[in-house]
Structure 1
Amino acid sequence: MKALATLARLSADDLDRALPALRALTGEDVRTRFPYRGAEVAGIGGFLIVAGDEQALAPFRRVQSAVLVDDLDGTQALVAEHGGEIVDGPNEVPTGRNATVRHPGRAVLEYVEHRARPEQTMS
């Protein structure tokens, strides 16, 4: 399993209010936007924004960063070799598959393997 990119996870109460400043900061347009588990998610530049009310955001707050990987199945080998645990997944998600891993030392990362052509809604 190889890390392809790391996305900083941000929380927002309203995605439409959060995105204009990130567009200005990154100079990029939103590349993905979709509903997921009661929240709304968007990717722009090096950021992954999860928006919703406090109740919708609660399950997402434990994850510190998202890591795009070339092969999600490698998470099992990573955990076996270095410790930690898979706390959620693998799951089918709108962009491919994901799994959440708690690493030794308590860091919690979401690993995501994108499909070759992710389903997406552009804003």
Structure 2
Amino acid sequence: MEIKKVLNRFYVNDMEKAIKFYEKILNEKCSNIFKYSEASLELATVGNILIISGSDEALKPFKDTQATFLVDSITEFKEFLLNNGAAIIRDLKIVPSGMNMTVKHFDGTIVEYVEHKANLNWVIK
């Protein structure tokens, strides 16, 4: 059971502008970008920042989530979290990047857990 990467979540309405800004400020290129059509969102990663873009209405259900943890085994984390005082907000679900769930930790922090699938269909920039 391992957390491979922690991503800070930034919510925006203009993906193109956000990518340009964070590429400049971090001096890193956007490593991937994809549409999450089911939620009317677009996601991109620049360094340790996960940029989530959409309308205010589309972003609303996700804005309380404070970070994304990329993990090696989401099912192992689910069991561990449930045994350690966490509550599942959104249960395991197949998403464009693999599988995710959203969890409220015992201290009230809300975190998305993601296990990437091997063959991602992301647009690599």
- Structure 2 residue runs of 5 or longer lacking an equivalent are none
- Provide the residue aligned with 1:23 in structure 2: 23
**TM-align CA RMSD:** 1.3
Amino acid corresponding to residue 71 of structure 1 in structure 2? S
Aligned residue for 1:104, secondary structure, equals coil
TM-score by length of 2: 0.91
Q: How does 1:72-111 map to 2 (within 5 A)?
A: 72-111=74-113
Mapped partners of 1:95, 1:47: distance in 2: 16
Show the counterpart of 1:54: 56
Percent identity between the aligned chains?
30
SS across alignment from 1:41: strand
> What is the deviation of 1:74?
1.3
State how far apart, in whole Å, the 2-side matches of 1:40 and 1:20 are.
15
Secondary structure of residue in 2 paired with 1:56:
helix
| Shift, 1:19, TM fit | 0.7
- SS of 2:74's equivalent in the other structure is coil
**Secondary structure, in 3 states, of the residue corresponding to 2:120?**
coil
What is the match of residue 2 of structure 1? 2
Moved over 3 A (4+): none
DSSP-derived class of the 1:31 partner: strand
Paired residue secondary structure (2:25): helix
- TM (norm. structure 1) is 0.93
Residue of 102, 120, 123 corresponding to 1:121: 123
Q: Note the C-alpha offset of 1:33.
A: 1.1
Secondary structure in structure 1 of the residue aligned to 2:78 = helix
Deviations along 1:69-98, one digit per CA (max 9) or x if unpaired, are: 000111222223211111112111111111
